[in-house]
Structure 1
């Protein structure tokens, strides 16, 4: 009696990909966080925080801060878990860390904006009425050129509008002599010595300025004068070094 032959055994060759599953998990984490940030950016593009009242803006900001902080905590937990496994490749780890830094920056910015609205709606007793909130500078690509932004606020009583004019002067040295130059003479975006304003909560004044040759700026002086029933004056001086180093 002949012996029954067994069927030949078959072997399947599967390519081994070290760290493939963990890299895929890391990418899913990054896509989740990027989607959350993209949603936030889309919100800004469609109107951002420009709501009808500062109170509504503050509440919306608080919701955005809470959401981003939750995404940040989740991403941190997943990153720590992946790092402990020590199997994630360097590229995925680098991308994850960049996303964490971006989230930290966005949360910090939102918290700053939230504080801004809180100060308007719930001021201290010594800071009510017309205020020079901030003046910022951003260096342009061309030497001696800067983007500037001035923010005026009405703190406390926001039921009616406040109006008036604000003047900005740069104080510095040229040829070893003190010199005061009006912002109007440094910026094509400013036509008058006094820029008119009218707002309930806050107003921005933005543009570009170019420093003249040989002029060394030391300070920026801002004087805002309200007229009418809310007549008042707010003045603030900013150190040039502080503005350009921040």
Structure 2
């Protein structure tokens, strides 16, 4: 029969303190490690914040620069646009003046080539041009041919005839052109007079014809009368 032997472990009082010390040391190391990590992490966060602050500052400067540059471009664009608009207006004015000069030249040529006897007053041209749905530009030329050509004051009456609400209506030029205050008009010319304006048609008014009457200022009657069909050019 085999013999059993007991194992005896000798207990020492200092081992417990050593164990406690080891635990405390491990705890201190953990705490210090945590503190160092937090400091390192805090340093990283602070560095990142500083980097972001630098980037924000740089972006602000860039935005400010681009804004200033954009404002300069806008100013230059406005200047260029204004210059182009002025140039366009000048060109339109020159074109209109050239057109009028050419028209006057043609009228003078017609007078020189006219072999008919003096016939007094007449309307040599009448034109309507569409501006928009309610506004029509008009242009007409009064002409004078007498034995003794001289500048003469002429009275002019213009009426637009049509219908409104199935009823015949006759409207004076002063009712359709805001620039014309009273009728008859008074114009003075020697050979011819080019006249123009814009008609503003009232709602529901359907024009059919335009009647132009001319007369000398010393006469009680308008001696010349001509009717034109309402034909609008676009």
TM range (shorter): 0.5 to 0.7
C-alpha deviation, 1:203, in angstroms: 1.1
* Cα separation, 2, equivalents of 1:238 and 1:195: 19
Q: Write out per-residue CA displacement over residues 148-202 of structure 1, whole angstroms, 9 at most, x where no aligned residue.
A: 1121111354631121210110000111111100010011111111110111111
* Cα separation, 1, equivalents of 2:193 and 2:211: 18
C-alpha deviation, 1:144, in angstroms: 1.5
TM-score normalised by length of structure 1: 0.50
**Structure 1's 120 and 156: CA in aligned 2 closer, same or farther, altered over 3 A?**
farther
TM-score normalised by length of structure 2: 0.52
The 5-angstrom pairing of residues 231-242 of structure 1 reads 233-240=223-230
* Cα separation, 2, equivalents of 1:220 and 1:137: 10
- 2:130 is aligned, of 133, 139, 158, to 139
Aligned to 2:156: 166
Aligned to 2:214: 224
Max radius of gyration: which structure?
2
Contact persistence 2:155–2:222 (CA under 8 A): no
**Structure 1's 200 and 172: CA in aligned 2 closer, same or farther, altered over 3 A?**
same
SS of residue paired to 1:189:
coil
1:175 aligns with 2:165: yes
- 2:174 is aligned, of 173, 184, 191, to 184
Contact persistence 1:119–1:155 (CA under 8 A): no
* Aligned length in residues: 143
**Coordinate RMSD, CA, aligned:** 3.2
C-alpha deviation, 1:128, in angstroms: 2.8
Aligned to 1:244: 232
* Cα separation, 1, equivalents of 2:114 and 2:228: 22
* Cα separation, 1, equivalents of 2:117 and 2:156: 21
Q: Which runs of no fewer than 5 residues in structure 2 stay unpaired?
A: 1-90
* Cα separation, 1, equivalents of 2:178 and 2:97: 27
* Cα separation, 2, equivalents of 1:205 and 1:156: 21
* Cα separation, 1, equivalents of 2:222 and 2:113: 20
* Cα separation, 2, equivalents of 1:189 and 1:239: 23
* Cα separation, 2, equivalents of 1:236 and 1:206: 17
- 2:116 is aligned, of 119, 122, 125, to 125
Aligned to 1:152: 142
Contact persistence 2:153–2:186 (CA under 8 A): yes
C-alpha deviation, 1:146, in angstroms: 1.0
C-alpha deviation, 1:124, in angstroms: 3.6
